[in-house]
Amino acid sequence: MNGQQLSLLFPILLIFVFYFLLIRPQKKREKEVKEMRNNLRIGDRIITIGGISGKILKIKDDKITIEIGSDKTKLDMMRWAISSLDQPSKVAPEKSKKKVEDKPELVEEDINEPEDASINDKKED
Do 53 and 85 touch, CB atoms closer than 8 A? no
- What pLDDT score was predicted for residue 60? 93
Q: What is the 3-state secondary structure (H, E, C) of the chain?
A: CHHHHHHHHHHHHHHHHHHHHHHHHHHHHHHHHHHHHHCCCCCCEEEECCCCEEEEEEEECCEEEEEECCCCEEEEEEHHHEEEECCCCCCCCCCCCCCHHHCCCCCHHHHHCCCCHHHHHHHHC
pTM of the model: 0.56
Q: What is the mean pLDDT, run by run of 10 residues, along the chain of 125 residues?
A: 79 88 91 93 93 93 93 94 74 46 50 53 53
- What pLDDT score was predicted for residue 28? 94
- What pLDDT score was predicted for residue 92? 41
